[in-house]
Amino acid sequence: MRICLFPGTFDPITLGHTDVINRGLDLFDRLVVGIGVNSSKTPMFALEERIAWIKEIYKDDPRVEVASYSGLTIDFCKQLGARFILRGIRYVSDFEYEKAIADVNRTIAPGIETIFLTTVPQYSSIASTLVRDIHRYGGDVAPFLPEVVMEGIKRIKQ
């Protein structure tokens, strides 16, 4: 079974993320969306909310799972039995950063391969950081987010 981990903070999950996940499903038997928990970062959206959004988006696809983890991503891969890490690439700068991480991971765990998928052009400018900033200042984030996330954000505001 080809098990893949798609790691990130998903704060929030965007249409760019779901595009990568959806295309990754053609490549893997099981795709685990791994929400990394970093104690030095304070996310805008609660972990439980982010997990719920992803579960709702993929409720009809048993190949997609969601889990949270702390520590090294490569260690979480080993725990899952995942032989692949999926990463989305928007720009050349993303590739340079992600390649450095992939090289270190390959040194630590040669049996785990990193797969890069480039984003489709319509989603290449979407980043969770930008979405959070737009949201923080009252802008419309609907063009960047799945509907279930928009509904969740509206509930949070009330």
Q: Give me the active site residues, please.
A: 17, 41, 90, 128
What contacts 22, CB < 8 A, 6 or more positions away? Answer: none
Q: Would you say 68 is a known binding-site residue?
A: no
Closest Cα to residue 36, out of 51, 24, 23, 21?
51
Q: Would you say 73 is a known binding-site residue?
A: yes
Q: Would you say 41 is a known binding-site residue?
A: yes
The answer to whether residues 19 and 123 touch, using CB atoms and an 8 Å cutoff, is yes
Q: Would you say 106 is a known binding-site residue?
A: no
Q: Would you say 95 is a known binding-site residue?
A: no
Cis peptide before 12 (omega within 30 of 0): yes
Alpha carbons 50 and 68: distance in angstroms, whole number: 10
Q: Would you say 157 is a known binding-site residue?
A: no
Residues making up the annotated binding site are 9-10, 17, 41, 73, 87-90, 98, 123-129
Which residues define the annotated binding site for substrate? 9, 41, 73, 87
Residues annotated within a binding site for ATP: 9-10, 17, 88-90, 98, 123-129
